[in-house]
Structure 1
């Protein structure tokens, strides 16, 4: 099959970028011919399998004179927020992507187009259906952050609404997300397929490790309060543990002011001698996998998630896990892996999607503290993570092709 993947963002950064890249690798191994359209900074190199044709949309150029647009307002690299788009920026953005997608469609002639995010670039791809053979299908995978942008911003709202409704199929990560897509775009739930996510089992795998003198905890993602990092640090101040703790924070933050605030908070916590906080920075995937394998517990207290890949990857490396009760995530994981050691913490009330009510944070942090203590007790008692090999990218990639080939 000839498959064209499309994303507005960098294809090797953030969860949705990893999702795209891992699907591309899985399809390459299966022998499919592929092309990719994605946004990148001028001159930026992107790694794909050699056989994959890449059609970049370059930002920070004369025609697109601003950084890559980010689906989250805080990205781990220099980015432009959609809410800051002017009329001129929107025009430049749409023209650049329409031109590149049209070129890719005409030269590559895909049989299947897979778009990432239910947002503006997916709507643009949908508008170009006439360029394609009639039998070519255009589908899109939702990554949740797009739904948050759609609700927060008025940018090209009708254009996005119409473009998403014109797709041949929408893939949701889990049932909670499917319900939200149905509500926002007035599409019957039975027309939205649940696809889930995966991890690369060749990179993220467990290994036997000796019990250390300290509990090793880790977080991976944007090191920001949107991901709950400041709340995690406050929760750890009062955790009762039988051994010292080490917390590894892996990831970047494009907001230097927020990052400095977190550095100061981490340094103060480390001074207590009870817990050492290590800012690892943004790690390559191989180094991230090695970090997971050294750790006992993975904690992701984000205030908004779709189906976080870092969670699956950490569990794949053998970490016990804690997350917030994001809609549908626990149900999906436990359906696939009933014995998974994954605790969830009730989220605080929200002012807006992903923006917690400040007054409710202390109670959230107390619940997070109790969950950490419970998992540390499990570790002390020798509990291991279940086999999560059912959650691999090959399963996701095969599922999409099987569904689209049935048509």
Structure 2
């Protein structure tokens, strides 16, 4: 079976990009051949993306900031780890130019590669373009959650997207809660939606069993954005009552909204505790940082499916996560009953990713209490970890392949 993967975004950034790469790498042993259509910037190196897949995947780029496509790669979130265009800011001319460029890349890919099936990422604009262009081809799509957030928040091409998403041959949700939301938002019958789940790269993220000595290390990895709950998290850190040399904090990641990044870093710099902002790092550096860490915190107001939780657990961390929809169910009893994860109730939201201001103080208090619980746990035992190899990409890719065989 020959599979063409399609994403509007860069294939080497964000959680959905990691998911895309994980699926492609996991399916190498199962597929005859794979190809990829994805957005990149003119300054991005095509060779580096091809090398990412060991030159085993044919790449058909949609190149932004080039010719008539003279704007940044669009992002499914308003704050991406690279310079991006927000869908809410796109006018009709930009949308038409984007549609034309994606169609051209798709036509090249189908002419040169001739796929048996197309796998799209995000139930959004690019996926709708694929469905419209190839009404007779077998096309499926994976929801990463951020597409749902866009559908709820803005009106960009909403009817066009809904009409074409309904015509997909199969849709994959990351968990049961998301499946129900997809049914409601896109008005799709339940039988067309399958729960796929998510995975992680066990060849990169695994417990290296470093000797844990010195200060207890607490980490965060993701975008530097208000929507990630980082200001309340730093406030919770500041309210801790431990010796300042007993704790160290590491924040990995960056963001495209300069003012938000600056505000978060400036607030962190005022903390009594050491908070090291190390910027965006590759997967190997992130694995090493997580292996040095005792506790991982994800204080986000919204997540599709946070792969970084699996990565942190696999590297030996105690995990603190906000109780975002579907995550607890996705992780399952083995993780939830391990004693190595704690969920923090979210504040009430004014809209997606935007909490009511009056809710923040109690959210900070809950984060502080969860941090104290995790720190006390690690004071007594810094070595305990959970093996989750069964949740790796290989198992997920095999599950997707079986579904694709049914559609094909």
Aligned-partner SS, 1:102: helix
Residues 378 and 190 of structure 1: CA distance in aligned 2, closer, same or farther (over 3 Å): farther
Give the deviation of 1:117 after TM superposition: 0.4
Give the deviation of 1:229 after TM superposition: 1.1
Out of 95, 98, 102, the position equivalent to 1:97 is 102
1:322 corresponding residue in structure 2: 320
Aligned-partner SS, 2:217: strand
CA contact 1:105–1:131 (8 Å) conserved in 2:
no
2:127 corresponding residue in structure 1: 122
1:293 corresponding residue in structure 2: 291
2:252 corresponding residue in structure 1: 250
Counterparts of 1:352 and 1:396 in 2: how far apart (Å)?
32
CA contact 2:348–2:359 (8 Å) conserved in 1:
yes
Which aligned runs of 4 or more in structure 1 are off by greater than 4 angstroms? none
CA contact 1:225–1:231 (8 Å) conserved in 2:
no
CA contact 1:174–1:196 (8 Å) conserved in 2:
yes
Out of 305, 318, 327, the position equivalent to 1:307 is 305
2:355 corresponding residue in structure 1: 356
The worse-fitting range, judged by mean Cα deviation, of 37-46 and 99-108 is 99-108
Give the deviation of 1:31 after TM superposition: 4.9
1:233-261: CA deviation from partner (whole Å, max 9, x where unpaired): 00111124477111100001112211111
Counterparts of 1:338 and 1:77 in 2: how far apart (Å)?
33
Aligned-partner SS, 1:406: helix
TM-score by length of 2: 0.94
Matched, 1:268 2:266: no
Instruction: Name stretches of at least 5 consecutive residues in structure 1 with no aligned partner.
Output: none
Give the deviation of 1:211 after TM superposition: 3.2
Give the deviation of 1:2 after TM superposition: 0.5
2:370 corresponding residue in structure 1: 371
TM-score by length of 1: 0.95
Residues 368 and 338 of structure 1: CA distance in aligned 2, closer, same or farther (over 3 Å): closer
Counterparts of 1:206 and 1:329 in 2: how far apart (Å)?
22
Correspondences of 1:6-405 after superposition (within 5 Å): 6-45=6-45, 46=49, 47-130=52-135, 132=137, 137-241=138-242, 244-269=246-271, 272=272, 275-335=273-333, 337=335, 339-340=337-338, 341-382=340-381, 384-405=384-405
Counterparts of 2:401 and 2:31 in 1: how far apart (Å)?
12
Aligned-partner SS, 2:389: coil
Give the deviation of 1:228 after TM superposition: 1.1
Instruction: Name stretches of at least 5 consecutive residues in structure 2 with no aligned partner.
Output: none
The worse-fitting range, judged by mean Cα deviation, of 207-216 and 370-379 is 207-216
CA contact 2:3–2:31 (8 Å) conserved in 1:
no
Aligned length: 399
